[in-house]
Structure 1
Amino acid sequence: MDQPAELFDRQLLRRRRARTRDALVEADFLLREAADGIGDRLSTVARSFPLAVDFGAHSGLVGEALRASGKVETVVATESDVPLLMRQGGLRVACDEEFPPFAEGSLDLVASGLSLQWVNDLPGALVQIRRALKPDGLFLAAMLGGQTLRDLRQALLDAEAEITGGAAPRVAPMIEIRDMGALLQRAGFALPVADAETLTVRYGNPINLLRDLRHMGWTNALNARSRRPLRRDVLARALELYAGSASDEDGKVRARFDIVYASGWAPHESQQKPLRPGSARMRLADALGVEERPAGEKTGR
């Protein structure tokens, strides 16, 4: 079978995470937003979870939300950056998000905040997570997707093409809601749900946006990236184009972040299942109070 294309340079991502672990707190607003969103979605679930994993924990904000929910007894944090992991309390496991080390059917809940968008084989990671869940175990995740950083992506492409005659990718592609739902089904999750929330952040200068991305450790790590540093004239032109397309009347620029939330359950016989075709006890026409007609038959005006 063909191996999935490796979109990201995972070693480069780890090195950048390591360099920015002390600066992460200066730009953790997206992580906090994702943790709050996961906490909100967990609050609607009327059950408890003895053992949960904060998968790709960063600084532990999702784990804090799980504990604060009152629905989780024990939280295990996982991180590929060991020094960052060691700053967190409780149980900890050092691992790569592409290779979860948990035994089949061993977890009640897996929650992940803004980590899974950087794996090269997302369908494979979802399958491994589903297998690690006990029957009727819950998966909750938040990922950047949709139109995240669309203005920055376009400005960089246009500026480089204008000045050099070509352009290399500098902003990662983002997953769409419909694709997330399909991936959950493909991975074998029951009752899959995907939705999104948009967060608009305003900056006094586009450079401040680039600084935040650097502090997050989320600068360009695409395998297809150019190995040459971005030229200063290209950057200056990109910032000019960005300011022109995403500025408000007060001169501040907007940055769009779409957070795609995903949830699904490990299959269990107690879960609701769709009815078999033809098993309905009432005709749709009767329920709607209309006359039933054969398919293709037109009614008068």
Structure 2
Amino acid sequence: MVIFILVMTADIINFRHFVIRGSFLVNDELKDLLIRFFMEYYSCFDSTETSQREKLLHAYTKTSLFSLTADQRTALRNLYRDSHNIVRISVWKSFRDRLVKRGHMNIVGHLSSAFPRTQHDPSSFLLDIFFVSGDLIGCCMNGSLKMISEGEPDVFLLFTRSFILRRVTAQGLCIENDMINVRNVSEEELRSYTTTVQNALNAPPQVNQQIGQITAPSVSNNTSVNLGSQVAQSPVAMGELLSRETNLRLEWAMKCLEDNGWQYNDAKNAFLRLLEQGNVPPQAFRN
């Protein structure tokens, strides 16, 4: 017997009264740690050659787990083919061992083969920490990315990615569990998502909010952060990011950073000034 609950008009939640908040990162120490880690991670993931994703081997462990779920409408069939769909439980049981990737070698190999060249948009990232216990950190990231396949139109997707990270050193993290969901997005939906993110980043921070399962030693606070404004400290990572954003060759991007004391925003602003003045030589750009 199915029981339907009668919902009165007064019981319906008015979602227009909700305020979208920015990233919840617990405290400044964890915020800096995670931003550095993910900016370097996606800098490597978005390399012009997918083979460069082999560098991500150090981001995973021998016991790491990875799974993917994809919207059936996803333009890339190889993503949906590997989707970890438990709605059809009988099929899921038969294919679970193939769909769940285990160990750093299998995971990175799958990331290199299943995903074509990608370009994540750091300004679209919202990152929430939902669990901290001992050396484990649970977090969830939402954002947008572009899939780039030679000879085919670019495909835009939205993604939600949940991580369980382990602190292996004071400033070092590795991924124990990685679950990603990707879904198609129309131009209108992408604009709507971008507006939502900007509203979240501009919303005032919440004060003294108690969040269950947050057990970090520092006092929790809610900080709205645009991950795109924070850049990894690795010179190579900064150079690759500047190269992507300006279309400069990597060596020119590195020189620009060096000339500006490795201050990313200063380097980017200097490039824009020189570009406006017509003082950037053509050979500085990638073809």
TM bracket, shorter-chain basis = under 0.3
Instruction: Name whichever structure is richer in helix by fraction.
Output: 2
Q: Rg bigger for which structure?
A: 1
TM-score by length of 2: 0.22
